[in-house]
Amino acid sequence: MKVLFATSELADLVKTGGLGEVSAGLPRALRQHGADVRVLLPGYPAVLAKCRELRVVGSLPGRASIPPCRIGAVRLADGLAVYVVLAPSLYERRGSPYCRPDGAEWADNDLRFGRLGLAAAQLAQGRGGLGWQPDVLHVNDWHAGLAPAYLRWEGAAVPSVLTVHNIAHQGVFSAEHRHALGIPEHAFDMNGLEFHGQISFLKAGLYYADHVCTVSPSYAREVTTPALGGGLHGLTTGLAERRQLSGIANGIDESWDPCRDPHLPMAFDAADLRGKWAAAEVVRTGLCLAPSDGPLFGVVSRLVPQKGLDIVAAAAAGIVRDGGQIAILGLGDPATEQMLNKLARSYRDNIAVLVGFNEPMARRIIGGSDFCLMPSRYEPCGLTQMQAQRYGTLPIAHATGGLADTIEDGETGFLFSDLSPGGLVAACERAFAVFADKAQLAGMRRAAMSRRFGWERRAAAYARIYRRLTGKPIAEPAAPERRPAERLEPVLAAA
Ligand code: ADP
């Protein structure tokens, strides 16, 4: 089974959040099934800087105003093959993959990601001179959402799968951009990629892909609702009715293991938590929090409205009053950063905010905290709650999406439904009660740490979809996980 996996991020090379980690984890797990998976991503400066061995192996024509590109190839240390779209005029600039250094979105994001989608569709048809053609094209999020559409418009037979990591991000551009992207007029239609008079890259993917996945079973149901479907619930409901919509929870990779995480000051496991206390000490000292015997609440998150940091801020006084401390690490909206910085200034001894992202500090906060706060308004899957459980840190999370699917309320964490400061405070009170009962705390920590969130079974679920679309065999996993406690089977979302 040959799979081309098109994505805007790959954690080894460039990452702004969960997409990069999933793009690093899933292809590798699929390779364990014997699949020949190759990742395709744009040649951002960070990618080129880390791929000194990159060889130019092919070239692809443009379309309308999308410029031609060359394709670079590199094999990462573990053998994962990566193709890089080389289009210097689109990608080689300072800033993030999506935004200028001042935070504004790149004005030509339609062309930048149109180029990614077009390259994916062209390579999927065996073009470019690589001497390799996939059996299936797997694209991720709106960034590569045009690829299934180009395939369809070009009459290609290669099946495509779209994974939606967050339906709120849709890649919507004004209608005139369709000419620059070479979109045929018939496709600018409700039955196509037209979205309220504009064009939507994500809708293109949803409409033209042969199968659509979301990153948890609950989210697969949620995207069919008006509340969380981002205006596309009619389309997703139709997909569910035709059994073309699956929810497969994300996994976390094996580096999330407190026994062998080099970023922790000392290794630990469920039987000996001294390394956990050492990590807490490093976090308190590093972030200038006062010494304390109370619980440490960690937050590692993009600082965006989705993540409910305003709810954390509103609940913070209560947490501190009850003897807790809060350590926050993240990067995002200037307004959210300012709000949190102000909060930290009001509670200097007990609340610390580190604006930025730093993998070692993320792991120390996740490892050293007693609880981790995730009052996300919605959460397609979420990785932090799984990472936290592996490290014996009990998540306190809104019962939504993948959070509801991967946390066992009262066993490995705390779920709450009332998304308000009062709801979070009530959940934190349950956590304080457990913290005061050392036997119960130890039991929950053990239960959380025994959870496995590996990619094996998730990859098997994707492999079944590829098999169904291509008719080609792909091996079952070599070593199935022993404890299938969580709900992650690819349930087809009910209409
Ligand atoms: P999302 O994809 O919405 O950011 P997830 O919980 O799925 O949320 O994934 C978060 C992952 O991204 C975690 O592993 C976290 O450590 C990491 N992360 C969070 N903030 C950043 C950031 N600013 N830069 C890079 N990685 C981040």
Asked whether 383 lines ligand 1 (CB < 6 A), one says yes
User: In whole angstroms, what is the distance from residue 282 CA to residue 276 CA?
Assistant: 10
Classify burial at 157, counting beta carbons within 10 Å of its beta carbon; exposed 0-12, middle 13-18, buried 19 or more. exposed
For residue 162, which of 182, 176, 181, 142 has the smallest C-alpha distance?
142
Residues of the chain with confidence (pLDDT) below 70: 475-495
Asked whether 402 lines ligand 1 (CB < 6 A), one says no
- Under DSSP, the state recorded for 304 is S
**pLDDT tens for each residue of 170-191:** 999 999 999 999 999 999 999 9
User: In whole angstroms, what is the distance from residue 266 CA to residue 416 CA?
Assistant: 33
Asked whether 18 lines ligand 1 (CB < 6 A), one says yes
User: In whole angstroms, what is the distance from residue 241 CA to residue 439 CA?
Assistant: 47
Chain-centre distance of CA 150, in angstroms?
25
Ligand 1 atom 25, closest CA: 16
- Under DSSP, the state recorded for 62 is -
**Pocket mutation for ligand 1, best pick of 96, 302, 309 (most atoms within 8 Å of C-beta):** 302
Asked whether 123 lines ligand 1 (CB < 6 A), one says no
Look-up of token digits 């998976």: 37
Look-up of token digits 């991967």: 406
Q: List the domains of the chain with CATH numbers.
A: 2-247 (3.40.50.2000), 274-449 (3.40.50.2000)
Atom of ligand 1 nearest to the CA of 387: 14
**pLDDT tens for each residue of 328-380:** 999 999 999 999 999 999 999 999 999 998 999 999 999 999 999 999 999 99
Ligand 1 atom 10, closest CA: 18
- In this prediction, residue 476 carries a pLDDT of 61
User: In whole angstroms, what is the distance from residue 339 CA to residue 466 CA?
Assistant: 45
Torsion angles phi and psi, residue 36, rounded to 5:
-95, 90
Atom of ligand 1 nearest to the CA of 306: 3
For residue 127, which of 163, 151, 160 has the smallest C-alpha distance?
151
User: Which residues touch 67 (CB under 8 Å, ≥6 apart)?
Assistant: 87, 89, 90, 111, 115
CA of 122 to the centre of ligand 1 (A): 31
Asked whether 330 lines ligand 1 (CB < 6 A), one says yes
User: In whole angstroms, what is the distance from residue 46 CA to residue 97 CA?
Assistant: 9
Atom of ligand 1 nearest to the CA of 366: 16
**Could you tell me whether strands 325-332 and 351-355 are parallel, antiparallel, or unpaired per DSSP bridges?**
parallel
User: In whole angstroms, what is the distance from residue 147 CA to residue 176 CA?
Assistant: 19
- In this prediction, residue 26 carries a pLDDT of 98
- In this prediction, residue 426 carries a pLDDT of 97
Q: Which two tokens stand for residue 251?
A: 């996994």
- In this prediction, residue 478 carries a pLDDT of 53
Contact 111, 66 (CB under 8 A): yes
- In this prediction, residue 103 carries a pLDDT of 85
